[in-house]
């Protein structure tokens, strides 16, 4: 028996997260991720995923200070970012700069401090490169700002409004961890060879770069831009479905009901919807598309996934499409690091087999 893509095959035991696709639940360390995203800070949830428990006040203070201390990039990383070709995409830049962190101090077994350093550095790398690409000088981090606020500040050169901060924070909490997905599997495979944390995360970033994993929100943005006005939604969506084309942002390989991450993001979207044209349009498109999907694909249970509202929220806070996958990756860095740490504690090298389907005993010709 061959399980293409290893779909449905359990290869590790983990206490980090659990996905119940039938019931539409995502659990972080025993807690409902949807509720955490709406009530907690990025730092609180990151601490939970890394350490296994929600932080006490003193532990959270120390964790925040540690994250803030690693935000400023080393001069070597700044020089590297400036030296990279202009045509290099942001994910390739993030992967390359993170790889440059792999000095000899990073070895097997990975440590929590190494993990925090990479988590803190990722947004700074993205923001530094983005400002250079836009023809602006990078800004240095502000230690008094929280993780998400500082990321926004380093990108925009100004602090976010409270609504912008909470919208971005909700998205980044929901993007933080999602079980044994392709990039997490890649990270665990890499460290299973007793390689280092930087190598494992670099491997994960290369996997996330693929459009089947990290690129979906950009396609949703393109769809919403094509629709433009609410009155165009039904005819546009019907035409797509009549042609047998996929509606981007709807359906998920795991969730057979509402994606809990999309539900939480929808709450935040509705909070900032008043007067925001992009959010209003997204809400209307969702309400139009779901009945149409049931009409054209009865019984398939296709609902909005996290990418749909990620695209709407990111557009509403003025993050262009080039930032979608890098921002997703900056959040997922927490989950990758947690899985690498967990893998290293009870390590077995991954060595799956392959079913050979080629020829046998082909004679050599003279």
Asked whether the whole model's pTM tops 0.95, one would answer: no
pLDDT at 217: 66
CA distance 238 to 251: 17
Q: Which region among 55-69, 76-90, 178-192, 297-311 has the lowest average model confidence (pLDDT)? A: 297-311
CA distance 325 to 323: 6
CA distance 366 to 364: 7
In the DSSP assignment, the letter for residue 279 is H
pLDDT at 249: 82
pLDDT at 254: 73
3-state SS, residue 70: coil
pLDDT at 187 over 80: yes
Domains of the chain (ranges; CATH) run: 27-212+322-345 (1.10.580.10), 216-316 (1.10.230.10)
**Angle CA(120)–CA(264)–CA(257) in degrees, nearest 5?**
120
In the DSSP assignment, the letter for residue 250 is B
How would you class 173 by CB atoms within 10 Å of its CB: exposed for 0-12, middle for 13-18, buried for 19 or more?
buried
How would you class 365 by CB atoms within 10 Å of its CB: exposed for 0-12, middle for 13-18, buried for 19 or more?
exposed
C-alpha R_g of the chain: 21
Active-site annotation, residues: 252, 307
Q: Which region among 191-195, 285-289, 331-335 has the lowest average model confidence (pLDDT)? A: 285-289
Which pLDDT band holds residue 257 (cuts at 50, 70, 90)?
Answer: confident
In the DSSP assignment, the letter for residue 6 is G
**By C-alpha distance, which of 217, 167, 148, 164 is closest to 38?**
167
Residue-wise pLDDT for 228-241, tens only, equals 899 999 999 999 99
pLDDT at 1 over 80: no
pLDDT at 205: 97
pLDDT at 293 over 80: yes
pLDDT at 256 over 80: no
pLDDT at 67 over 90: yes
Average pLDDT over residues 31-49: 96
Average pLDDT over residues 17-25: 87
In the numeric block, the tokens 């079980």 are attached to: 179
Instruction: Provide the mean pLDDT of the chain.
Output: 90
């Amino acid at each position: 028996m061959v399980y293409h893509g290893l779909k449905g095959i359990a290869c590790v035991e983990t206490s980090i997260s659990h996905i119940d696709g039938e019931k539409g639940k995502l659990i972080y360390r025993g807690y409902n991720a949807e509720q955490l995203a709406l009530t907690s800070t990025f730092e609180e949830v990151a601490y939970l995923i890394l350490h296994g428990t929600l932080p006490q006040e003193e532990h959270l203070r120390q964790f925040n200070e540690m994250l803030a201390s690693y935000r400023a990039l080393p001069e070597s990383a700044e020089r590297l970012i400036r030296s990279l070709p202009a045509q290099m995409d942001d994910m390739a830049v993030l992967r390359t700069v993170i790889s440059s962190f792999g000095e000899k101090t990073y070895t097997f077994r990975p440590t929590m401090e190494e993990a925090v350093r990479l988590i803190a550095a990722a947004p700074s790398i993205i923001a530094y490169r983005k400002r250079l690409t836009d023809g602006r000088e990078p800004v240095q981090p502000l230690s008094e700002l929280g993780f998400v606020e500082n990321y926004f500040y380093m990108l925009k050169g100004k602090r976010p409004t409270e609504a912008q901060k909470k919208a971005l924070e909700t998205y980044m909490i929901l993007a933080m961890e999602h079980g044994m997905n392709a990039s997490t599997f890649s990270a665990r495979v890499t460290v299973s060879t007793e390689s280092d944390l930087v190598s494992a995360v670099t491997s994960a970033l290369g996997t996330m770069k693929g459009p089947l994993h990290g690129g979906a929100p950009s396609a949703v943005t393109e769809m919403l831009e094509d629709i433009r006005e609410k009155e165009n939604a039904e005819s546009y969506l019907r035409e797509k479905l009549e042609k047998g084309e996929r509606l981007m942002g709807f359906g998920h390989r795991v969730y057979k009901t509402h994606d809990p991450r999309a539900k939480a993001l929808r709450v935040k979207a509705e909070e900032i919807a008043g007067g925001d044209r992009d959010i209003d349009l997204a809400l209307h498109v969702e309400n139009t598309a779901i009945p149409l999907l049931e009409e054209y694909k009865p019984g398939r249970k296709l609902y909005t996934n996290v990418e749909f509202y990620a695209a709407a929220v990111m557009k509403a806070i003025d993050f262009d499409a080039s930032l979608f996958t890098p921002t997703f990756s900056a959040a997922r860095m927490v989950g990758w690091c947690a899985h690498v740490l967990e893998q290293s504690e009870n390590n077995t090298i991954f060595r799956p087999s392959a079913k050979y389907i080629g020829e046998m005993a082909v004679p050599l010709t003279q």
